[in-house]
Amino acid sequence: METANHFTCLSYDTIDFLILSKYVLFGIYIGSSDDGKRIDFENEVLPKLSIGSFLEKEFNCKHTEDCNVMLVMNKSEFDEDLQSKIVNYTGTAFPVSGNFALSVNTSVTSRIVDISFLRVIPSGIRKRLNACGISAIGFNKKRQILLSPDNIIRSFLRGLL
């Protein structure tokens, strides 16, 4: 049985946020911070959600490097309700490719993680934490939080709408 999985890791001072890499098409460093709700990329205008400050505030952490990274995902991985919320928030329709961007203000790496270090949330608080985007927690060298991309986006939008 396989005990490792491929993750995209958002590194903050006390926490590594992990997202299953199957959700992330690619990541790209885009230079200076930009809090806009859309970004021009390869002849397309992508809806963009800047979640870096949200993560720092919600999880009481600080970015490890001052950089702006865009994680490109495809809307097909998310339900129609969330897709329409992204469009409503950004005021930008999905391009033909169906791609959109999450912007974070810290370093991003690709990692193989031994999932035996991750623990499912205790049942008494599972529903609340899942609604916030947390699927599992691990403690290795520092805290690791497995994020559910759809739930963290919902939580981000819930705080703004």
Model pLDDT, residue 32: 62
CB 27 within 8 A of CB 69: yes
Model pLDDT, residue 1: 38
Model pLDDT, residue 36: 81
CB 70 within 8 A of CB 39: yes
Domain count, the chain: 1
- Smallest Cα–Cα separation from 99: which of 55, 47, 146? 47
The residue segments making up the domain with residue 147 are: 4-160
Model pLDDT, residue 35: 64
* Mean pLDDT, each 10-residue run in order, the chain (161 residues): 73 91 88 75 91 90 84 95 95 94 89 79 79 79 88 86 37
Angle at 124 between CA 53 and CA 156, to 5 degrees: 20
Sheet strands side by side (includes 134-139): 108-114, 4-11, 15-20, 143-147, 134-139, 118-120
